[in-house]
Amino acid sequence: MTIFLDANICLDLLDTTRATSKDSVNWYLKHKDDKNKEFFFSGDFITTIFYVLTQRKKISHKEALKAIDLMSDEISPYYIKHTDYICAKNNLLDNLLNDLEDLIVLSSATQLGCSFLITNDKELLQQNKYKMMKIITPLEEL
């Protein structure tokens, strides 16, 4: 089973002071050792994660890079392809959502064949499903 973690979940795993962090961390710890599950996040989140850790959390560049490296060891980064952008652009023009970044996440996750997208993003959660992929919070069961 392939599972895509949204940026807010990745940030929760790295910054335990966030309001939703406890739920995200508990969910990840519950599932991370299951050999039948493979986890992904968008490699494009790395710059956002680095910014948040260094600018908002005031963590040194070295420590932020170490945290991103450790996360990437367990959760594989997926780098968007041009086809992900084209699909997201078409969905934006079709008014599926008004957030290009969220639409790129949906496109990337389905390109990978993910069964689930784990997020705390309210707009994404309203979709409930995208193609064959379920969109759920860390409080829901797979």
Domain segments of the chain as ranges: 2-136
What architecture (CATH level 2) is domain 2-136?
3-Layer(aba) Sandwich (3.40)
pTM score, whole prediction: 0.93
Q: What is the mean pLDDT of the chain?
A: 95
Can you read off the two tokens belonging to residue 14? Answer: 């790295």
Coarse DSSP helix, strand, coil percentages of the chain, rounded to the nearest 5 percent: 55, 15, 30
75: DSSP letter: S
pLDDT band at 83 (very low <50, low <70, confident <90, very high): very high
- Give the whole-angstrom CA distance, residue 21 versus residue 9: 8
94: DSSP letter: T
Scanning the structure block, which residue is given the tokens 């600018």?
A: 55
Tens of pLDDT, residues 27-82: 999 999 999 999 999 999 999 999 999 998 899 999 999 999 999 999 999 999 99
